Amino acid sequence: MERRKFVCEMLLTLMTLFHILLTCVDSASASGLGRRNLLANGLGRTPPMGWNSWNHFSCQIDEKMIRETADALVSTGLSKLGYTYVNIDDCWAELIRDDKGNLVAKNSTFPSGIKALADYVHSKGLKIGIYSDAGYFTCSKKMPGSLNHEFQDAKTFASWGIDYLKYDNCNNDGSKPTSRYPIMTRALMKAGRPIFFSLCEWGDMHPALWGAKVGNSWRTTGDINDSWESMITRADMNEVYADLARPGGWNDPDMLEVGNGGMTKDEYIVHFSLWAISKAPLLLGCDIRNMTKETKEIITNEEVIAVNQGDYDDVEVRMEGDIEIWAGPLSGYRVAVVLLNRSPFRNSITANWDDIDIPTKTVVEARDLWEHKTLKRKFVDKLTATIDSHACKMYVLKPIA
């Protein structure tokens, strides 16, 4: 899809948002969503960082690999960089609840139970996440959802020591997510333990417009897959809502695919750069027990991570065909900039100061975050770089005069 066409379509979509908001308000009024912020857990002051099982393993998970992943987060140094969540996705539970209606860990794959696994993860200085669904069954249909069991399940998660809940939207009763999701919000707030609440609503009813009162993050897109087209489309969709993210509530374009093998190194660098500058959750989706050196170099880039975890202001994007300039302000009058070449050809890209909110005539020092070097040349009014196809440059620009 051509970028200009996509933007036009998104603008047309935004013109319908007023109508959607009215629909949301109808549901919100019934649920109490419109009256106050239901979520007050103090979590998510910066975008969450960690790992999730789904992108690489799908349903092929067990307690051994979760323990090994926790071990790997520590042994590789990833946890020291902020990757602290170990999130179990779909397929961890038995299909049938116990005789008291409680969720039960799948005996064939999690025989020790989730409480013991949570204790192990916590012993490593990490946090543990789990998955459920605002429907009768989860998306795999291999375990129950939490619809009509919200308070019971929230208490169960808290009793196990869960720190993060990813809450999906499959196999529901047809009611609006604005009715179903706040029920789990209330349940988590009464469970007796702070639990990061990730709304996996797929962006269908524009949760960026109402998610801040309900969750700590909200999906703005459908599921990602390990391809350039999927990744870049999700970045586009997510960027539309940039000004709605803030500490405690983040836009989520889905988990990272870096290291899963479907994209080139340059494309994975674009992927990581765009998620970082967009202040998206940095949830790894590869097998970190068996990372390549290349993958590790990308996901351990401390300078790029610092952009993601630093002071927040919304990112702005300027586009000319397949040439894009993503920019977001940082502390100390600095600006993070990504020069992105989406085209199949090598291109020269120029960021003019008036495009990225730097005063005209300002002298700027440029730090190349992927080359890990400060450029010797100083820049006035603009910065130009030649970028390969499906590649980017990422800088932090610091005014010096």
Q: Provide the terminal-to-terminal Cα distance of the chain, rounded to the nearest Å.
A: 42
| Residue bearing tokens 């469970």 | 191
Residue 63 burial (CB count, 10 A): 20
> Of these residues, 62, 71, 119, 223, which one is catalytic?
223
Residue 363 burial (CB count, 10 A): 12
Residue 142 burial (CB count, 10 A): 15
Pairing of strands 85-87, 49-52: parallel
β strands within 122-206, DSSP E: 127-133, 164-168, 196-199
| Residue bearing tokens 């975050």 | 369
Could you confirm whether 168 is annotated as catalytic? yes
Cα dihedral 351, 266, 341, 254 sign:
negative
Pairing of strands 391-399, 363-368: antiparallel
- What is the spatial distance between Cα 14 and Cα 16, in angstroms, rounded to a whole number? 5
The tokens of 293 are what?
């050196």
Could you confirm whether 98 is annotated as catalytic? no
β strands within 210-315, DSSP E: 217-219, 250-252, 282-284
Torsion of CA 143, 234, 267, 276, to 10 degrees: -90
List Cβ neighbours of 380 (8 Å cut-off, separation of 6 or more).
361, 362, 363, 364
β strands within 43-133, DSSP E: 49-52, 85-87, 127-133
Say if residue 20 is exposed, middle or buried (CB neighbours under 10 Å; 0-12, 13-18, 19+): middle
> Of these residues, 90, 153, 163, 168, which one is catalytic?
168
Q: Give 120-134 as a DSSP string.
A: HHHHTT-EEEEEEES
Task: Name the residues annotated as catalytic.
Answer: 168, 223
